[in-house]
Structure 1
Amino acid sequence: MEKEELKKILADHRNWLIGDGGKYADLRYADLSYADLSYANLSYANLRYADLSYADLRYADLRYANLRSADLRSA
């Protein structure tokens, strides 16, 4: 996934979480390998089957996120 596209999805998700429009992050099957997701608020996001291998998830908020069958190797 392109960096700018991911930034837009995360911004929309942030707005959705605070009730200011936006939409929740549906990242099913997304290739997020090696992505910098540090400090990202991905609570309630759909990351089912997403490739998060080697992604930087330090301090990311993944509460209630759907991580079923996500690839988290070395994340």
Structure 2
Amino acid sequence: MRWQIWLVLSLTASLIVDDVNASSISICITNCVQCKQMYGPYFKGKACGDSCLASDGEWVPDCNNPGTLRSFLKRLY
């Protein structure tokens, strides 16, 4: 009986963690899209999205803080 309760709690916890990771990645990618709209050709949107997936949404870009976008901004000349 005890192991069944532990199993149910473990499965529930893993589902919650997966949901949180999915929403974090979604927020991160949404911010990448917003930054791409703001900065246009100066912003590397694909690289930003790839970074969201690689970090599981732990890193989120802030379009108003160029320090968080340093590696995704480019010059056009």
Q: TM-score scaled by structure 2?
A: 0.28
Bigger fraction of residues in helix: 2
> Which structure is larger by alpha-carbon Rg, 1 or 2?
2
Q: TM-score scaled by structure 1?
A: 0.29
Larger relative contact order (C-alpha < 8 A, sep ≥ 6)?
A: 2
